[in-house]
Amino acid sequence: MTEPANKRACEEPTSKMIEYPGEDPAVRRFREFLSVWTVSLTSLESPGPQPDYDGAVRFLEREAKDIGLPFKCFELAPNRPVVIISWEGSEPSLPSIMLNCHTDVVPVYQDKWECDAFAGYKRENGDIVARGSQDMKCVGCWYLEAVRNLRAAGKSFKRSIHMTFVPDEEVGSVHGMKALVKREDFKQLNVGFCLDEGLASPSDVFTVFYAERSGWWFTIHCPGNPGHGSRFIENTAVEKVRKILNKALDYRDAQEGKLKADPAMKLGDVTSLNVTMLGGGIQWNVVPDAMSLGLDIRVTLSDSHQEVMEMVEGWVREAGEDCTIDFFTKNVKSPVVCTDDTDPWWSAFSGACHKHDMKLEKEIFPAATDSRVIRPLGIPALGFSAINHTPILLHDHNEFLNERVFLRGISIYEDLISNLASVDEQ
């Protein structure tokens, strides 16, 4: 019998980090972070191994010590530690700069990878092939390496800088950013601006994200009449599921059509829908008394949440009696961060990019990041990863980042951080 796919995806690795003598120490530290097995599964209560957040904390504590900055760590739930490494500014009463990184990564299908996904493997051309190399341990290491260099160069800034390393982003942030922002520890940071993750870009442009679609994850329960598998039972659960599926997939086709018809449109500009789970049934000859569908909808900024909700409720109502909707996540509409040159944060950000001759493209983030928790607090957050000329491989097999792209990113972040931490009082 073959193993279920989800078991394969959740196995802990046994190997250790591979050594490449003579490499840049910053690259080695990056590969070391990548080798920590911080795979987060669906919930704190999930069976199977828990992410090695302790390993991540040990790595970060050593980094903070090395760089010479205070290190703070506390749990948001059992085995859900957050780390905050702070560099106090010369005017600490000014709102601070938050540099955010989630420490967890998604599982891998190890047999589909060319190498151990948690060994920091490096191809001959310098591609570092590891889970988290794009999403988003690279960004966390960029913060650390840039701050390390700025301090070594004797720089100081007026605004305080807080590097936050949070758990559980990949599983909804309930025991991560959502818990952190409720704490007094977060209020004390007095955050004025936040940098968070973006996406790789296959072309020469770099993408920066000023808002994101609102993710809705929910289950539709469809009860129905059970009976013998040989009969034409009326009003079955599966018939209700079929009605909903047809309407949902028609809507999906229409949105996909809209995106493909206009080359100027990006994924974040339309509402996406996927049926991601189907459940029910116990045996071949038993008509099930209930079925369920799991849906993932990402509502774009220009679509009305109320209208999308009414549409889904309509599908469910028309499917037949007693069908119900059960939300796991229903994110509110994302505030939009100002990206015109009159905005001091934006000009600090874009100024650093111009210094490096980077072509910037502003987009709506198609998926979800911890910025969805930050922006509604009135804190502007930009999503950015300094990755171009690289295929988008987050959550995919053989996710990689070339070490040259990584090394160049360090100097980009040095300027981003310098500019942002020097923004005048507003």
| Nearest position to Zn ion, beta carbon | 135
Angle between helix 403-421 and 344-355 (nearest 10)? 140
Task: Determine phi and psi for 101, rounding to 5 degrees.
Answer: -140, 130
The site string for Zn ion over 169-198 (x = CB under 5 A, - otherwise) reads: ----------------------------x-
Shortest approach of Zn ion to residue 128 CB, angstroms? 17
Binder of Zn ion out of 136, 180, 319, 364 (CB under 5 A): 136
Nearer to Zn ion, 136 or 316 (CB): 136
Task: Give 290's contacts (C-beta < 8 A, 6+ positions apart).
Answer: 221, 222, 223, 224, 237, 280
Shortest approach of Zn ion to residue 317 CB, angstroms? 36
Annotated active-site residue 363? The verdict is no
Annotated active-site residue 104? The verdict is yes
Nearer to Zn ion, 103 or 271 (CB): 103
Q: Does 135 bind Zn ion (CB under 5 A)?
A: yes
Shortest approach of Zn ion to residue 140 CB, angstroms? 10
Piece in contact with Zn ion (CB under 5 A), picked from 104-112, 131-139, 232-240, 292-300: 131-139
Shortest approach of Zn ion to residue 289 CB, angstroms? 39
The site string for Zn ion over 195-214 (x = CB under 5 A, - otherwise) reads: --x-----------------
Which position among 169, 197, 399, 415 bears the catalytic label?
A: 169
Q: Does 129 bind Zn ion (CB under 5 A)?
A: no
Q: What is the CA radius of gyration of the chain?
A: 23
Piece in contact with Zn ion (CB under 5 A), picked from 103-111, 134-142, 284-292, 343-351: 134-142
Q: Which two tokens stand for residue 266?
A: 């990006």
Which position among 52, 104, 145, 269 bears the catalytic label?
A: 104
Q: Does 106 bind Zn ion (CB under 5 A)?
A: no
Q: How far is CA 208 from CA 71, 211, 360, 361, 383, in A?
A: 29, 9, 7, 6, 6
Place of tokens 């502003």: 362
Nearer to Zn ion, 136 or 181 (CB): 136
Instruction: Give yes or no for a contact between 276 and 216, defined as CB atoms under 8 angstroms apart.
Output: no
Q: Does 237 bind Zn ion (CB under 5 A)?
A: no
Shortest approach of Zn ion to residue 287 CB, angstroms? 42
Shortest approach of Zn ion to residue 297 CB, angstroms? 19
The DSSP result for 246-257, as a single string, is HHHHHHHHHHHH
Question: Which of 373, 364, 361, 300 lies closest to 337 in space, CA to CA?
Answer: 364
Nearer to Zn ion, 208 or 237 (CB): 208
Question: Which of 265, 248, 250 lies closest to 316 in space, CA to CA?
Answer: 248
H or E element that contains 100: strand 96-102
Q: How far apart are CA 380 and CA 373, in angstroms?
A: 11
For Zn ion (CB under 5 A), the number of binding residues is 3
Give the side-chain half-sphere CA count within 13 A for 408. 15
Q: Residues with catalytic annotation?
A: 104, 169
Q: Which residues bind Zn ion (CB under 5 A)?
A: 135-136, 197
